[in-house]
Amino acid sequence: MKKLFFFLFLSVPVLLTAQLQYPETKKTDVVEDYHGTKVADPYRWLEDDNSEETKAWVKEQNKVTFGYLDNIPYRAQWLKRLEEINNYPKYSSPSRKHEYFYYSKNDGLQNQSVVYRQKGLEGKPELVIDPNKFSEKGTTALAAFSLSKDGRYAVVGKSAGGSDWRTFFVMDMKTLSYLPDSLSWVKVSGASWQGDGFYYSRYPTPDKGKELSTKNENHQVYYHKIGTPQDQDVLVYEDKDNPQRFHFVFTSEDERYVLLSISDRGKGKDGNALWYFDSKSGNKVFKPLIKEAGEFNYNFVDEVNGKFIVSTNDGALNQKIVLIDPLHPEPANWKTLIAEKPENISAVTSSGGKLFVSYLKDVTSRVYVYDFSGKLEKEVKLPSLGTVSGFGGEKEDKYVFYTFTSITFPPTIYRYDIGTGKSTVFRKPEVKFNPEDYETEQVFYPAKDGTPIPMFIVYKKGTQKNGKNPTILYGYGGFNISMTPSFSPTRMTWLEQGGIYCMANLRGGSEYGEKWHEAGMRLKKQTVFDDFIAAGEYLIDKKYTSKDYLALQGGSNGGLLVGTVINQRPDLCKVAIPQVGVMDMLRFHKFTIGWNWIAEYGSSDNATDFKNLLAYSPIHNIKPGLNYPATLVTTADHDDRVVPAHSFKYAATLQEHYKGTNPALIRIDVNSGHGASNLKKALETTADIYSFIFYNMKVTPKFNLTQPVEKKAF
């Protein structure tokens, strides 16, 4: 493959050697008493995202930030290259509904992927939904698409501007036209069909002007009948005595059984209860399989002969799969189908009367096929070490699809024949780079307490370990989420320019099961920060990079990670990119569904938790006199998961206390949420981040673009 550009290191002058002039941020005398400890909160007024004062502050901050970014000479070139490398067709795995196969496709640079269907695998594609037409600027996304069992109707969920709020509509799949149905204030919900309607979950209508910040409480389950207005929906379940619970309903494949999952994370419980009713019995009152939400998870997989296949970590921290008779649901009556293994179960699906069980072995996928009695039949042979997803289907399916990817292996869709166990390539993307030019290592570095921590390190072949390579160290470390190797075309532009990319598998995730998770949560959260610091020290010690060429990056819980680490070790890196981070650990539970994180972090309402949270909360541990790295905070005005007030207050505090010459900037996107609301915004954000990192490392990329760069505003 012809190389499109090459890389040169050049020294460049820094634009500003004196401190930037930041907007003046008003301070108030707000002080709160936590268990006898008084904590000042001078920027609390920034929590009101709808006030004119806050809007003016955002405007002035963006003026400084984009003024800085506009002066980076290669910023527009980086964006152009990001557009070039992303401009190839991308497909999802197809899923079958009777004679149709449904899938999504992005032609290359479409802001939103488009839904198509075709009759048979060789049929002519028919456009079903084009989300690019949902809004003028392509910032409204397709957030749900759920077909009825007969394929006659579909629930279409839309998300505006990146918000977690959904509006549900109903499409007639014969005419591909919308019915009058419109359901508002849907959140943390799917659409589970039964008969001529579906179950969904919503919250009561929030106060006007507080839609993106008010605490979400009283999660209700409704049944909506097609063709009726929302105010006629039937309330199926609510629990006003426990307003901080999630209630999620789903149905079995034949729609006979209706199951209700209840989680109580607002009370610090990490597991869920599981209830059900049998529609054929005529009694639509939920009965318990698992009565109370506690520390264990119970996930319905499938139903066979009136009994439920469930995956759980109850008595098996790496999970096991059991068969539960709903008429005799006591644990003593459970039958173990697949016992716990040393490797953690990462996913369980069913199709064609088989169970597909994915395990993580040293953070890479292994997939095995079992029958419904738990007998091992086959291993699915994967192309190499990487990450797999898919295998879902219905009992009558003869084959399924799965997607395999790794850091330099673009997502490739395979068709798996259930009878023969043979995989064949169904769709392989035609990417605009040569994967053979890059090398991926997996190392195990020692944590502060000696625990081996996995880390993936990717770079261009021939890279010298001389301590001068621009390096991004990315981490998350929380919520039982595994950071598995996957492909990103945007990341390739970093690697093309001689950068090194590193992903550390910190404790707090689920890479090695629940023990790995528990080792980095609540009172043990400092372990995650120590693991991240140890990763940086390892990269420096092994001369992949040095403190002058190391950037720390993380989003959401990873934004908290970066914000905390640069308080504790500002000397570790040259650049910090905390994205949509949880920065105020004393008040996170006051907004939207932040109370859901109490199970992970604890709560300042508890005296012991408060002491622990205050010890690392990024906002509360910014110290005058420290030489902070160049910092670019990113957030968005429609982030109603980690509300932007976290980043607003953090940036204001950092700008107040840091008196050095490194920039301390905040980039606030508009009409975007916890993630970018469209591809254009995602690419612009990435171009700004990569350019900011290189610029502050005094490194200049060299691009050889196929088309000239047009001067345009970001």
Catalytic residues: 556, 674
Q: Give me 577's structure tokens.
A: 């990119």
Which sign does the torsion angle of CA 595, 599, 603, 606 carry?
Answer: positive
**Pairwise CA distance, residues 95 & 102, whole Å:** 5
Q: What are phi and psi of 537, to 5 degrees?
A: -65, -35
**Pairwise CA distance, residues 59 & 667, whole Å:** 10
**Which residue is listed with tokens 């508890």?**
606
**HEC-encoded secondary structure of 643-710:** CCHHHHHHHHHHHHHCCCCCCEEEEEECCCCCCCCCHHHHHHHHHHHHHHHHHHCCCCCCCCCCCCCC
Q: Which residues pair with 159 in a beta bridge?
A: 141
Q: Give me 708's structure tokens.
A: 């000239």
Q: Give me 215's structure tokens.
A: 């605490």
**Pairwise CA distance, residues 548 & 629, whole Å:** 10
**Pairwise CA distance, residues 318 & 341, whole Å:** 7
- Residue 189 CA: distances (Å) to CA of 186, 247, 431: 7, 9, 35
| Other Cβ atoms within 10 Å of 97 Cβ, number | 17
**Which residue is listed with tokens 């290669």?**
74
- Residue 255 CA: distances (Å) to CA of 194, 303, 319, 324, 584: 6, 11, 27, 18, 44
- Residue 187 CA: distances (Å) to CA of 23, 154, 234, 638: 36, 18, 17, 15
Residues composing the chain = 714
**Pairwise CA distance, residues 240 & 219, whole Å:** 9
Instruction: Name the helix (H) or strand (E) containing 347.
Output: strand 344-351
| Other Cβ atoms within 10 Å of 584 Cβ, number | 29
Q: Give me 158's structure tokens.
A: 């839309």
164-168: long-range pairs with CB below 8 Å, 24+: 164/188, 164/592, 164/593, 164/640, 164/641, 164/673, 164/674, 165/211, 165/640, 168/144, 168/200, 168/224
**Pairwise CA distance, residues 546 & 574, whole Å:** 9
Residue 94 gets which letter from DSSP? P
**DSSP string over 19-46:** PP-PPP------EEEETTEEEE-TTGGG
**Pairwise CA distance, residues 435 & 408, whole Å:** 6
**177-186 and 192-194 strand pairing:** unpaired
